[in-house]
Amino acid sequence: MTVGLTYTPNIQFAPFYMAKKDGKYAANVTLRHHGAQEGLFDALQSGQEHLVIAGADEAVVATSNGNDLVVIGGYYQSYPACLIVPEDSAINVPADLKGKTVGTPGRKGETWYALQLAMATGSLTESDLTIQDIGYTQQAALVGGKVDAVVGFSNNDAVQISQSGTPVRTIQVADQIPLVGASLVTTRSLLDSHRQDLQAAVKASIEGMNAFVKDPDTAIETSKEHVQDLVDSTQAARAREVAVATGKLVSGDGSHPIGSVRVDDVASMIEFLSSHKLLGDKKAPRATEVCVPLGQ
């Protein structure tokens, strides 16, 4: 069984490194990092992977575009995408974006969904602000004053911009966020044919998540085998900040068990994505079909 990690080696995948090193996964489980240009679900759809760490929201959108994906476990209990502004910015709530320029990596994925939610929260439309596609140059755009705010992730973009010497604040895009972030995703056919193996992999992953939240220092040590830069003490210290910030997303507000995912939350998310015309037209996702929790 192959677990796909949708990015190059990074401290944010430490829970899965830890579960592997601690022997929580079955002996036949391998971890596979994606290349920079690889689609989130390509390897899963082709059968190269059996489980992938990806946004539940992105899985639902992919399903609406004809893929047959199922969320079987949780990872982030809090949504990672947020607004990031300079510390002395006059922007304090989403409504303050009116008349401002906001940088976004592109018009798809979690940062785009988060911006849609921020505009809804602030009763804004696209005509009320300037949206600038900046790719993954949030730091340069914000520091250089090209934009007033960027949409990014609280556990890496915000941390890294701050580490570079520019004090920033994060602003939640809504009080109640109906989006579900990084989760454990498989396909319907794999769920039907490998349910027990997947259930064991979800359970092992959750053990890794709990270990990660409790001990970021061990997370750094374990990740050194995968992230070569961490042998440098400065890089390790910076990665520890990312690990702690990621741990907050994994834990959430403590109201739900680590690693859990809820059908009701996915139903609310589908409603939001549909109402904002973010879903494709090939298939109408149903919460009970795209979310089958195996870990609780």
**Partners of 101 in the β-ladder:** 130
The answer to whether 100 and 273 have CB atoms below 8 angstroms apart is: no
pLDDT value at position 233? Answer: 95
Residue 210 has pLDDT above 70, yes or no: yes
pLDDT in tens, 114-151: 999 999 999 999 999 999 999 888 889 999 999 999 99
pLDDT in tens, 227-278: 999 999 999 999 999 999 999 999 999 999 999 999 999 999 999 999 999 9
Q: Is 265 left (phi over 0), alpha (psi -120 to 50) or beta?
A: alpha
Block residue for tokens 């004090």: 167
CB atoms inside a 10 Å sphere around CB 264: 9
Rounded Cα distance, 94 and 117, in Å: 9
Q: What is the pLDDT of residues 75-122, one digit of tens each?
A: 999 999 999 999 999 999 999 999 999 999 999 999 999 999 999 999
The ranges of the chain annotated as CATH 3.40.190.10 are 2-78+179-289, 81-171
Q: Determine contact, residues 172/115, Cβ cutoff 8 Å.
A: no
Write the CB contacts of 292 (distance below 8 Å, at least 6 apart in sequence).
70, 71, 72, 191
**Topology at the third CATH level for domain 2-78+179-289:** D-Maltodextrin-Binding Protein; domain 2 (3.40.190)
The reported pLDDT for the residue numbered 296 is 66
For domain 81-171, say whether CATH 3.40.50.2300 is its number. no
| Token output for 97 | 């974006």
